[in-house]
Structure 1
Amino acid sequence: MAAPKVAVVGAGLVGLSTALCISEAFPSCPLSVLAEQFSPNTTGDVAAGMLIPHTYPGTPIHVQKQWFKETFAYLFAISNSAEASEAGIHLVSGWQVFKTPPKDEVPFWSDVVLGFRPMSAAELQKFPQHRWGQAFTTLKCDCPPYLLWLERRLRANGVQLRTSKVADLWELRSEYDVVVNCTGVGAQQLVGDRELLPTRGQVLQVHAPWLKHFIRDGDGSTYIYPGIHSVTLGGSREKGSWSLSPDPATTRDIFSRCCSLEPSLQRAEGVRVKVGLRPSRSAVRLQREVLSRGGAELPVVHNYGHGAGGFSVHRGTAKEATRLVGECIAALRGSSCRAKL
């Protein structure tokens, strides 16, 4: 049997990283990425790109920790390479502050990030509204450069990147043997996933080069994340909203909240507003499925529903999706062998 042809549908963070994993694991399989939108027009281009996990209620903690460990190790290696600047990845230290200590003072990811510890009294003096906090070093990813870096790696591996609107996964069966669904919030319509909902997120990017440490309010959705070229201020979480239009009232609210954490932001310049739709569900959908019509079959692997925490787990879930693709390829080869008997 010829090497199975694989299509990854979706070219956001999850789609590109899944395609890269597949191309590394199965270099002999022809691979294409099909998407209606590529960077800079994906949800990943809007993401803040901080590796601080969000919890998925429907996914076991040990699984979430494994995904995070694999992602952190992968990006940490890039941050220590000559490609760090091109990929937009760097280490950043900072604080997560709380008005009262959280129930989980030592989160499940504390031994994955670097130097995790409770904040000292001297550090907390900077945050008079907060009584407790955590200090640690983690990774920050400037998203548009990282997505372009992934695209370059894919092309170097011989992967085809094609602009194409896929309305039905079954239509790909005539050309591909395995399909990987990484369509994010688009999966609601594409595969009829009613559990999947958009969570609208609005962020600001400002020029404030004096800020070197991240600050995150552990009680809410306020954060200040310094990147290589700009500082990301967030954020908002509006479940069920499909609007991609910036909201001036939300912009004022985000800026006000961030200035209360870091008053020097009043001097920030060049405010740009970005909006994205996070694909939210109780658990990431990582699953094999076989579509069948009229006696014909199409193996599909789903990898979507990462919500607000996609950057923290994207490489780990890509590796798991690649393992499932391997199972599909093995099943195809097994059925091909049986057909020859």
Structure 2
Amino acid sequence: MSTGIFPKLSSSYILSFQFSSWYTIFANVSIKSTIIRPLSQEFRDYLDADGVFIPEGSEDVPTKSSIFDDGEGPDDISDEDETPEGQHFAFPDLDAKIRESIQEYGAVFPKLNFSSPKDASWILPASSPLKCTSPAEVYLLLKSSDFITHDTSPESAFSGCDLPETYDLELVLRKWYPIDRSRELRCFVRHNILIGISQRDTNYYDFYNEVNIRDTILASITAFWESKIRPKWEISDYTFDILLTRDLVRGHILDFNPYAPQTDALLFTYDELHDIFLERIAGDKKSATLKIIDSKTHPAAVSNMPAYQHNMMPFEALNISNGRNIEEFSNAWKEGIRESMNG
């Protein structure tokens, strides 16, 4: 048994964590999802293209963008440059598949092989983050996200290991519904031993301070892992994200990630997890360690600070804001959005 801090990385190991690799095994304990793969090279080119613009035909009905609050929208702009020069994309077959999933689920939230565009959730209404009801909204989220560039570039997705012979980009459409982030937890497994459980959302929730609640969470996740994951999952080193039910006794798998530096250890460090692992295999510790934010002054607490706030204002906004008052900045920013979305 290797007792290094991390397992050896390889492309086959990383590919085990792309959505299509694990979802078919755990579909009955996860959120309903549709996988569309492989995606065309043209779609990759669209994601890599400069600017934020929507492929032709992807909007269900012509509507004015919520970005514009002065009554003027894309429909009021000249047709001369609908997309950046030389970049015209249309995906009628993909549009149709997305619409089928939306019709089946009511609404979807998208992701690619490994990453979701959570950093771009600000671009859709805050009351329903990531909720997409048209292909255009799916594309808008993906195009506005920095996170998904991890998946579009094999060099990023397989950083630290060999590149695979083939790597097909996939679009995942998951059934959207509002999620209580306070019940999301990340769990760490090393050599088939559950060693750590961390609160995912870095806000303070007072219910976590109740001892019986913490005991219930630890017992529920341990039982879920022992009955639903360990017997079916051939990988011995991994993390998984789980959403507990309101009564905290059952759960749904949200995602799997490699046990590797690129996976956020959240309230742990990987050195701490390694020490816990050594205690577990020595028999000095009988159960996983649960870490939560136990006060508003906890160093990791963000205290109502928006998640991924550093992604909410694109770098270009900093450039155009220099020397302008709020009204001037607002007008300049709208013009910049118009240019990027409509040529």
Q: Provide TM-score, normalisation by structure 1.
A: 0.22
Query: Higher strand proportion, which one?
Result: 1
